[in-house]
Structure 1
Amino acid sequence: MRARTGRDYALFICVIGAGAATTHVFVPPTPGPLAVAAELGDAVDLGAMMLGGILVAIPTAAVSGILYGKWINARLDDIPLRETMGSTPEEVHERAERPISELPGVFEASLPILLAVVLVASNTTNDFLVDLAADGAAPFAGAEGALEAAQPATSFLGDPNFALTAAALAAAITYLRARSIDQSVWTDELTESLKSGAHIAAITSAGGAFGGLLAASGIGEYITDLVAVGAGGGVTVLISAWLVAAAIRIAQGSATVAMITTAGIMAPQVPDLAVHPVYLALIIGAGGNICSWYNDSGFWLIKEIGGLTQMETVKIWTALTTIISVTAFIIITVVASIVPLA
């Protein structure tokens, strides 16, 4: 789009980034929200988590992606197209000049994302239906045997490793078809892409190790005791959860690790909550999204794929994730105060 229009690059990145970042921390079946729901126990219904996550994600993405995107775009509208991970400006301009009919269609281009979501959701949905059948809920009463028989297949297909591998293969096949390149060149480019992603995987792994260290240190019990003093079980607990998730996110980088660690810390508060537990799960996601900077693999992903400088990435991506976090925090606390649903 930047090559086609010659403008609005920062706005395009903000809009795409806001949509991705909000669903990443609020809407199952992405790993973070799923893990938080599981950590907080049966009190967090997955369907309610999905619905609540969507209702929070839409206005949050609109405020951060569109409003902030337009504001920062007016100040960074001269970002040039640079060589990026696996792409050069010349290649981008060549693709932009192709007729639309020669490019992959909307469905084919979206297939890697849709495939991963559907596969992961198949396992999540089947587990949810098994629970409903076990409770005798209509219309699934009596179907428990059939649903349990399907669990081995859905567990295999819905495993994140399999789902993401299948999505990557779909993307690779589309790339091969659309570029019409020799298979040996295609193999070399796949190998190069794996090399380019290695440092991102290393940063993510280090963040996960640090999160495990925090959880094993006993800090969870300490923070739980602090939160419990005068908390009242309502909005104060939500504020505390947001602060804890934000602190862990800034310290070690990974939003998912921050969310899982905070959920473990806050889980003892669930029985005494004066608001619906879904609010707690959502606000943990909001805190875990704040301030993506140098220790977050997402920061480097946006920088490398977008062809941005470090300062441009801070102004666009770091600021965007912070605005998402604060906006969602305000929405969740206000709604929880008005409609606690306890």
Structure 2
Amino acid sequence: MEPITDAGTAQLTLAAVLGITAVVLLIAAAKWHPFLALIAGAGVLGLTAGAAPGDTVDSFTTGLGTTAGNVGVLIALGSMIGALLAETGGADGIVNRIVTGVSGAALPWAMAGVASLIGLPLFFEVGVVLLVPIVLLVARRTDVGLLRLGIPALAGLSVLHGLVPPHPGPLVAISSLNADLGLTLLLGLVCAIPTVIIAGPVYGNFIAARVPVPVPPAASSPDRPDSGPAGGQDLVDRDDLGNPGAPGDLVDPQVGRRRNPGFWAAVLTVLLPVALMLARGIAELALPDGNGVRAALEVVGEPVVALLAGVFVAMWSLGRRAGFDRRETSAVIGGSLPPIAGILLIVAAGGGFKQVLVDAGVGTVIADAAQDANINALVLGFLVAVGIRVATGSATVATITAAGIVAPLAATLDRPEVSLLALAIGAGSLFFSHVNDAGFWLVKEYFGMTVGQTIKTWSVMETIISVVGFACVMLLSLIV
């Protein structure tokens, strides 16, 4: 496609700076919703680059539609599985089975493991709502300590959301860079394991001895994420998305939990889509073209097919086994969609913003400059994501912007490197959550900490996740 403008390098660079600055200021200073800020930023970028208003609008809407089609369906299907897991008691069963089966020094490790497991299909805030009451309860009944349990749980949830598809952040980067989802999933899981260990149990043990945080009294423990000053605005990447509500808000009040569907039923349901997508990635690496097994796995491992299969299985293995009839199961699935409307709009608008960047030629200019300066594509993607994340508090905006800027560089990389680039951007988008991030306040209120304590614990934990995740990406780049 021909560029929508014939502007020179200086003008395109200025357009990129002003467009990104507009998004940052509108979100961070003017407190605009990211959806509107991204639309306005795309307009500033296109007009400053000298593109005709009509061309800018066409470019934006094309990117919006493409992104919504590629990513929106996956987010919706993942939300359905997560809602069934939460509403049927399947997640509670996983947590209780694992946590009650261990004690003492093994509890922080168990908490990190269960958070990582249920974090595969659940949005961050839903995972927090499910896990934090368990963390508080175990902390009250044992002498392990609140932070030694809480930090591993938060690390498990956060790492999975930042590095492992089918969560929105990684999906946006994969879509923008045309990365292979199965391979990215495989490499993301490889990076997730050491990252969870270091940022979770290891850092939790370290910081618990230095920041004494008592267990909040039972009566003052929040029951909903919107009990804090910024709670309830935290969906997927802790963006300011409006109030998606707690898991109990997903369905009609008359639709409640009947009984636990069973530990293994819940675990296998959670792992099914991941296993199918992993199988596809492994088959593409290990089997030759034309092989019948590879062809079959490429179909069932297609993200839409894998997640759709996960939804169908969850309707029976979770809904039916928990005693839900067809109407109640349908209510849970339908109720999972309104809470994600905000993230879908932001992701789609981000796709439009990215498309204006690409069509104006900004990405090519920056990519050429990076190559001339000999800046590694992985480093560039990470640093851009870090800058936008710290400025806006939005991991989604950071991911979208960084992916749009380095997208031309992705065309020069081989398939594994493109997947690593998506992970590098995801790692950068988690860097140093602070007071402009709703997740910061969510964690602060749940654990009854001061702002200073939250920075020393949660903010540093997020930074460790970002740095360790990126270090793992760089190590993998030497191997794959």
Query: Same fold by TM (over 0.5)?
Result: yes
Q: Which is helix-richer, 1 or 2?
A: 1
Q: Which amino acid aligns with 1:302?
A: V
Structure 1 residues 124, 262: CA separation in 2 closer, same or farther (over 3 Å shift)? farther
Looking at structure 1, the residues matched to 151 and 428 of structure 2 have their Cα atoms a distance apart, in angstroms, of 19
Render the CA deviation track for 1:176-205: whole Å, top value 9, x for unaligned.
Answer: 99xxxxxxxxx9xxxxxx9xxx9x979857
- 1:213-240 CA distance string (max 9 Å, x none): 7536638843552342252697621111
CA contact (8 A) 1:60 1:324 kept: yes
Local SS of the residue matching 1:229:
helix
Superimposed CA distance per residue, residues 245-302 of structure 1 (whole angstroms, 9 cap, x where no aligned partner): 1222233434344324422332211122388222212211111111223444443443
- Contact 1:207/1:252 (<8 A) preserved: no
2:104 equivalent in structure 1: none
Q: Structure 2 stretches of 5 or more lacking a match?
A: 1-137, 226-258, 329-334
Q: 1:248 aligns with which of 388, 403, 407?
A: 388
Q: For 2:419 and 2:318, how far apart are their aligned partners in 1?
A: 34
In 2, distance between residues paired with 1:51 and 1:129? Answer: 12
1:200-215 to 2 correspondence within 5 Å?
A: 208=347, 211=350, 214-215=353-354
C-alpha distance 310-223 of structure 1, shift in aligned 2 (>3 A): farther
306-315 vs 279-288, which moves further: 306-315
Q: Which residue does 2:448 correspond to in 1?
A: 308
Count of residues in correspondence between the two structures:
296
1:68 aligns with 2:206: no
CA RMSD, Structure 1 to Structure 2 (Å): 4.7
Indicate which of 143, 161, 176 corresponds to 1:24: 161
Within 2, Cα distance between the matches of 1:265 and 1:278? 16
Q: Are positions 1:317 and 2:458 aligned together?
A: yes
Matched, 1:272 2:412: yes
Q: Which residue, out of 193, 212, 216, partners 1:58?
A: 193
**Secondary structure of the structure 2 residue equivalent to 1:291:** coil
User: Does 2:357 align with 1:218?
Assistant: yes
> How much does 1:147 deviate?
8.3
Aligned residue runs from structure 1 range 116-195, under 5 A: 116-119=270-273, 135-137=289-291, 139-140=292-293, 155=304, 158=307, 163=311
Give the TM-score normalised by the residue count of structure 2: 0.48
Equivalent in the alignment of 1:84: 222
| Pairwise CA distance, 1:121 | 6.3
Residues 202/222 of structure 1: CA separation in 2 closer, same or farther (3 Å cut) = same
Maintained 8 Å contact 1:204/1:254: no
Q: Deviation at 1:334?
A: 4.2
Letter in 2 for 1:280: L
Are residue 293 (structure 1) and residue 428 (structure 2) matched? no
Match of 2:472 in 1: 331
Using the TM superposition, name which of 7-16 and 218-227 deviates more. 218-227
Q: State the match for 1:38 in structure 2.
A: 175
1:115 alignment partner in structure 2: 269
Amino acid of the structure 2 residue aligned with 1:136? G
Contact 1:253/1:293 (<8 A) preserved = yes
Shift of 1:78: 2.6
Deviations 1:50-102 (A, max 9, x none): 22212211112221112221122112243434321259xxxxxxxxxxxxxxx
Please tell me whether the aligned partners of residues 121 and 158 of structure 1 are also in contact (alpha carbons under 8 angstroms). Answer: no
Partner Cα separation in structure 2 for residue 109 and residue 299 of structure 1? 32
Report the CA distance between 1:40 and its aligned residue: 1.8
Could you tell me whether the CA contact under 8 Å between 2:183 and 2:278 is conserved in 1? no
The AA in structure 2 aligned to 1:23 is L
> Percent identity among equivalent residues?
30
Kindly tell me: are residues 230 and 14 of structure 1, through their superposed partners in 2, closer, same or farther at Cα, counting changes over 3 Å?
A: same
Cα pair 1:211 1:261 within 8 Å, conserved: yes
Q: Is the 8 A contact 2:140 2:215 kept in 1?
A: no
Mind listing any 5+ residue stretches in structure 1 that lack a counterpart? 88-103, 178-186, 188-193
